[in-house]
Structure 1
Amino acid sequence: MTAKQILIAEDDSFLRTLLLTQCQSLGMKTHAVANGEHLVSEALSYQYDIILTDIQMPVCDGIAATRILRRLGYDRPIIAMSADEVHETGFDQILAKPIDMRQLAQLLQQTPAQDSVALQLDDELIALFYTNLQQLSSEFARALQLAQRDTLRQICHKVKGGAASFGEADLAKLADKLQHELLSDTPLDELQQSCQYFAQLLQQFGGSNART
């Protein structure tokens, strides 16, 4: 049986690690982001069965991110976490903080895996994808300047999933190749040229291919 894939959005690093550990112990494949903007871009890769999101996050909170996803037709399970009362209707379930890990485990196990479906593209969704590439280009260049290897790898992972879904196979392949190089023992200095080219490519895709 294929393991469920869960996307966790939580800005608190301690709780994020705790949730990752809990979900991994349930046999799930996990990935985590720290704000709602990254939540939206990751979710639109359609590789996750379940989203688990905090409500209060920087850049874009859980409610705003969920509204964007639902408006774009995203219909996969989204579970919210909040210390406050929440009346938003876009979530499938809302868990109170502090999280009862036994309740969370039961809920995740009961939530069915999602069928593999083709992404239905419309102009608004396409424009959002290419705009996000511009943002990722800036983040990638900044991480390269600061020699943040893990951040570079995470961005490659995001681009790989999104680009493949939006028909940009060559960009997805390049992101996958660079991601594996960043996971290797190759010194970052030796990957500078490849990283700089990738950052420029993201900028070009985000600028010249944006559609409205």
Structure 2
Amino acid sequence: VLKVDPNAAGGVKPLTLTDSDDVQVGDQAVAIGHPFGLDRTATAGIVSGIGREIQAPNGFQIDEAIQTDAPINPGNSGGPLLDARGRVIGVNSQIATGGNRGNVGIGFAVPSNTVKEIVPKLQKGASIERPYLGVTTSAAPGGDGARVQGTEPAGPAANAGLQPGDVIKEVDGKEVNEPGDVAGSIERRSPGDRVQVVIERLGLERTVSATLGTRPERIP
């Protein structure tokens, strides 16, 4: 976290972090950044999608990402994604390239509400600990739930008795319709919390209790 003295920096004013939950598809979006070394570049587009799931460099999932067609290229990461009123709705993070190096109209930003949650903790010197279930999943047959592919040895899911082939139907009271819902259902939880996991095994539903662990820095 960088601390800037606005007076020493020529009277700069901080941007307002707005509520990213209010963002809707079709809203105007402006990306600010330093693409290909071109300082203070602004590109414009719209919000193309909300609630997207993207993969972080450490292999884990980032939920609720904002998708935009505002051109985002290498050098834009870390810059703000603004709404029509100049308020920050997200922080530019990634692009889908389709094998190309540059922008193809599909960019993603971490939502501002995630930033508002994390930054105060960093300012206090706290480490960021994410909850972890320790399970890998794929789409379930029929598209209803998340099928367990594997569990981290001695991890929360394994300790709770989850096995490959189980289909996760619900976590912490939240319905699971696809693999991404598993991580999304615990994102507001903390390590050490206990959650109820509803699974289907051999055609029968059962509920198990899992104690969430602390997510490692990278996928094991």
Which TM class, normalised by the smaller chain length?
Answer: under 0.3
Q: Which has more strand, going by share of residues?
A: 2
- TM-score under structure 2 normalisation? 0.25
Q: Which has more helix, going by share of residues?
A: 1
- TM-score under structure 1 normalisation? 0.25
